[in-house]
Amino acid sequence: MEAGGKPYRVWIINVASFFLFSLMGITGVINWLVLPRGYRSGAGLLVSIRHFLMTVHEWTGLLFVIVIGIHISLHWRYVKKNLDRYRKTK
């Protein structure tokens, strides 16, 4: 793969989207199943970790949407060709 070529850029975007998706999944599952909700006495550190992971989860989601937009733009000719093919069959 030539650095700077289109296959290289697509590969980088795919790796980034996989990393961001995995990070979103991990932070979401930890917040949902592991960490306590609300403010309980004695759980100050866990609540702080929960809020930190919620922030990481939200920013990761935003970055993931941006990376998917870039991914679609890199594949736009393929998407357009298939949409045109779909419209012609109907």
The answer to whether 60 touches 27, Cβ cutoff 8 Å, is: yes
How confident is residue 6, by pLDDT bands cut at 50, 70 and 90? confident
Q: Which residue has the higher pLDDT, 13 or 41?
A: 13
The residue-averaged pLDDT of 3-23 equals 93
The answer to whether 13 touches 74, Cβ cutoff 8 Å, is: yes
- Give the domain ranges of the chain: 6-89
Q: Which residues of 48-58 are buried (b: 16+ CB within 10 A; e: fewer)?
A: ebbeebeebbe
Largest CA distance in the chain: 64
State pLDDT tens for residues 24-67.
Answer: 999 999 999 988 776 666 667 888 888 899 999 999 999 999 99
